[in-house]
Amino acid sequence: MLPTKIQQESTEREQTNVSLREERTEADREMTANRLVTEKDADAVLEHARDNADAVLVAAREKADNTADATTSQETQAAIAEDREVEDSTLRDERAAADKDVRRERQVRAGILTRLLPLERDATDQYLLTERARSDDALATRDDFLAMVSHDLRDLLNGIVVSSQLLAQKLEKHTDRDGLLLETTRIERYGARMNRLIGDLVDIASIDAGKLAMQTVQGDVASLVVEAVEALQITASARGVSLAVREIQQPCLAEFDHDRMLQVLGNLVTNSIKFTPKGGSIRVQCERVGDWLEFCVDDTGEGIPAAMLEAIFERFRQVGKNDRRGLGLGLYISRCIVEAHGGNIRAESSPGQGTQMHFTLPLSAKHSH
């Protein structure tokens, strides 16, 4: 079964958390490495400066010794050596104290960073939790709003359709009967299209919440296919497209949700009618293969580019960027329904060569997953 939107969001958030932990670990590693490199470079610069200072001092002392009077007494030379030893000792002490101060300062800075970094990350985590809570609230509000609006819109649409039917009955004897009947027919057709769109949106909300209703019972697949084709026969004829059922073995029984599978076949056949030019043909077939039933809706339409064969089953996806023949939800919903039954759905096509939409259905619920 296709994962629900809630499960997908939970998985995505866990992946985000894992990625965040990995990035923080890597950031800590890089920060430590950069700090050690910086300290090593600073120590090298200091050591180089000290070496230069020592070299200058040695050179100065050698020059002083070379220019000293040869008659300088041993006592004076000993005093100079003693003074130099004191200077050298003092210099070593000063350098040791300076090194100690540097180490202490580095420890203090590292300690401050160690204390500040968790605080900054806690603030980031809290912000992330807050944003997620807001997102969850917004999604819950959206779904509740969608459910209420869809219910109210359906009531209004049903009222429009009923009123149109009543008008059609009363126009039997009107002088402009044909023209007015045409208008009422249009109202009914537009209402039916709006009702289908609302139904798709309601199904999407149900899929996201993991509550897509299924009532699986044993039924005759041959009758199901015939019913789907007969329901769309007038639509196909109006567009000049031939629609027929290829011979199906009788009887052909399986366990499925009748209305949902009728919805799948209706979506696939409707898509074929949309994209098949006048004079084209559509054939619907079903055959048993082991413990499975394999359906195929085969048309002679304009075809689908290879790069889009998987993408067309995503929500809000159309074959063409500027295609406005629907919301791009039918195939996504069909995939969810088929996979909820334990089957799978796929498309085979190439531009200009027609399209074959295949899906499978297990003969019994024990084969579904």
Contact 329, 204 (CB under 8 A): yes
Give the pLDDT confidence of 161-177 residue by residue, as tens digits: 777 777 777 776 666 66
For the chain, the structural domain boundaries read 145-208, 217-367
Number of helices (H), then strands (E), in the chain = 6, 7
61 vs 96, residue with greater confidence: 96
Mean pLDDT over 123-137 rounds to 79
Mean pLDDT over 323-328 rounds to 53
How many residues are given for the chain? 369
The backbone region for 70, taken as left when phi is positive above 0, alpha when psi lies in -120 to 50, beta otherwise, is alpha
Residue 151: which pLDDT band, with cuts at 50, 70 and 90? low
Q: Tokens representing 32?
A: 């430590």
pLDDT of the residue at 348: 94
pLDDT of the residue at 335: 92
Give the pLDDT confidence of 63-79 residue by residue, as tens digits: 877 776 655 677 777 88
> Which single residue is written with the structure tokens 């920060």?
31
Mean pLDDT over 124-153 rounds to 72
Contact 358, 311 (CB under 8 A): no
- Which residues are CB-contacts of 334 (< 8 A; sequence separation ≥ 6)? 263, 264, 267, 268, 313, 345, 359
Q: Has residue 54 got a pLDDT over 80?
A: yes
Give the pLDDT confidence of 232-251 residue by residue, as tens digits: 998 899 899 999 998 877 67
pLDDT of the residue at 324: 43
292-299/355-362 β-pairing = antiparallel
Mean pLDDT, all residues of the chain = 81
> Which single residue is written with the structure tokens 């799978």?
344
For domain 217-367, give the CATH number: 3.30.565.10
